Amino acid sequence: MYFFLSNLSFSDICLTSATIPKMLVNIQTRSKVITYTDCITQTCIFILFGGLENFLLAVMAYDPYVAICQPLHYTVIMNPRLCVLLVLLSWIMSVLNSLLNSLMALWLSFCTHMEIPHFFCELNQLIHLACSNTLINDTGLYFAAGVVASGRFTGILYSYSKIASSICAISSAQRKHKAFSTCASHLSVISLFYCTILDVYLSAGAPHNSHSISAIECRH
C-alpha cells in the first residue's frame, strides 16, 4: 500500500504542476492568454496524470480486498513484482489515453482568438471551441472516458462487494471494526476524489458569467 501511495503522491504533484504554474504566471503578469502549444502540452500532462491517479485508486482497491478476503495469502499475492506490474499497467493505460486525446485535439482547426471559461485548457472546452467538425473528437473523448471509467468502477465495485461480503461473515464485532478500518482510508480518498470531480464538471455545465478569467489564443 505504501508503494501505491508513493506513486499516488507523485501523480498528485505532477497533476497540480500541470496547471498551477501557468495560473501563477497569469496572476503575476495580469495576462489571461495561453498559447496553442502550451494549451496542448498542458492538456496532455493533465490527462496523463489525472488518468494515472484514477487508475492507481482502482488498483489500490485490490490491496484491501486481498488483505480482508485472503489474509493468509496476502504476502504471497501482493508481492513486489505484482505491485510493480499493476503500477506499470496504470502508467501504460494513462499514457495511451493521454496520447489518443491529445493527438485528436491536434487535428482540430481554430479561429484566431477565442475565450474559454477556465484558467487551464480543459479538453472538452477546447474541442467545443474548434471551427472544424468535432464529431470524431467528441466520439473519441466520450468513448475513451466511458471505457476507462467503466473498467475502473467495475474493479472498485467488485473489490468492495467482496470486502463487504467478507466483513458481514465475521462474527466478532472487534474483528469487523479492524477489517473495516483497513479499507476506510481508501474509501475516504475515493469518495473525496470522485465527489470533487463530479462537483467540478457538473458546475462547469452551468452558464458562465462575463467574468471568465481565462483566455486562449489559438492559431490555425
Encode pLDDT of 153-175 as tens digits.
Answer: 888 888 888 888 888 888 888 88
- In the chain, the domains with their CATH numbers are 2-203 (1.20.1070.10)
Of 45, 60, 32, the residue nearest 152 (C-alpha): 60
DSSP characters over 113-165? -B--SSSS--HHHHHHT-SS--HHHHHHHHHHHHHHHHHHHHHHHHHHHHHHH
pTM for this prediction: 0.77
Encode pLDDT of 53-77 as tens digits.
Answer: 889 988 888 888 888 888 888 889 9
Q: Does 139 score more than 90 pLDDT?
A: no
C-alpha cell at 153: 468502477
Q: Does 195 score more than 90 pLDDT?
A: no
Q: Identify any residues that bridge with 217 across adjacent strands, giving them in sequence order.
A: 35
Of 206, 200, 205, 193, the residue nearest 50 (C-alpha): 193
Query: Which stretch of 67-71, 86-90, 138-142 has the lowest confidence by average pLDDT?
Result: 138-142
C-alpha cell at 162: 467482496
Mean pLDDT (the chain) is: 79
User: What secondary structure letter does DSSP report for 208?
Assistant: P
